[in-house]
Amino acid sequence: MSPSGAAGRALEESIRSLLAARAGTICPSEAARAVAGEDEAAWRPLMPAAREAAGRLADAGEVEVTQRGEVVDVRTARGPVRVRRVSG
């Protein structure tokens, strides 16, 4: 399934929902777990798609992806990232 297909849409909606439920940031893995469940074998393969979903939401101006507190492009960032609502 392509990341922009049903799984991608579910991940985007999960990111939106998680951010609406709390102040601060989320990890893309939280969205993957929300979509696939807590079993690592189920959610871990969704991580690339979760990062891509965060990138699409960032492109749309809905969220910012950060690393060590700085806004980054999730497509080029290496290592852990966080997702937050756009401030302002």
Does 40 score more than 60 pLDDT? yes
- Percent of the chain predicted with pLDDT > 70: 94
CA-wise closest residue to 82 among 34, 45, 29, 16: 29
Range of the domain at 45: 6-85
Q: 8: helix, coil or strand?
A: helix
The reported pLDDT for the residue numbered 87 is: 80
Q: What is the mean pLDDT of the segment spanning 14-29?
A: 97
1 within some domain: no
For residue 85, the surrounding DSSP H or E stretch is strand 82-85
How does residue 46 score in pLDDT terms, banded at 50, 70 and 90?
A: very high
Report yes or no on whether pTM surpasses 0.85.
Answer: yes
How does residue 88 score in pLDDT terms, banded at 50, 70 and 90?
A: low
Whichever domain contains 44, its CATH number is 1.10.10.10
- Say how many domains are in the chain: 1
Query: Which residues share a beta bridge with 18?
Result: none
More confident residue, 24 or 88: 24
